[in-house]
Amino acid sequence: MNSTNKDSEPAYFAVLVAPVRYDKRLSPSAKLLYAEITALTNKLGFCYASNSYFEKLYDVSKQSINNWLKNLEECGFIQRHIYRAKGSKEILNRYITIFDKPMQINLNRPIQEILNDNTITLNSKLNISLKNENKSFKKLTRSRVLK
């Protein structure tokens, strides 16, 4: 193989992270599509391939690609950003961003809600710890008083 052919070959690889690989909600085809999107995302941080690109690549229908993308999006592994012409339904651009793990918490919650959750847990643990220390202290002082 000469260097000219080597230079013209694609220089990217696909990644199929464990959360996607083992997610039983995803079809095997959706997982493969996720890996392809990661390969196309590496260079720019987002994928701008059209559905027709994926249709030709995998030799499947438009509906199949739509279903796989919808499946990935509903499970929180991708997000599609669609930009339409002003006052029209015509799609100018569509970008796909990926997530290694699906969103676990709603980040739109007020910070106070998140802090309250943690405070309650920490206070409960602290109270239990203090009660146990207090019992130990009482036992120790009683034994010294009795002597």
Q: Does residue 112 share a domain with residue 61?
A: no
Q: Does residue 113 share a domain with residue 87?
A: no
Domain of 16, in residue numbers: 3-98
Q: pLDDT digit string (tens) for 7-28?
A: 333 436 888 999 999 999 999 9
Q: pLDDT digit string (tens) for 119-132?
A: 444 555 556 656 66
Cβ neighbours around 75 below 10 Å, total: 18
Contact between 31 and 20 under an 8 Å Cβ cutoff? The reply is yes
* Overall pTM surpassing 0.85 (yes/no): no
Residues 6+ apart with CB under 8 A from 122: none
- Which pLDDT belongs to residue 100? 73
The residue-averaged pLDDT of 51-66 equals 95
Q: What total number of domains does the chain contain? A: 2
Where helices occur in 9-110 by DSSP H, the ranges are 18-21, 28-41, 51-58, 62-74
Which of 98, 120, 138 is a domain's end point?
Answer: 98
Strands 78-84, 91-98: pairing is antiparallel
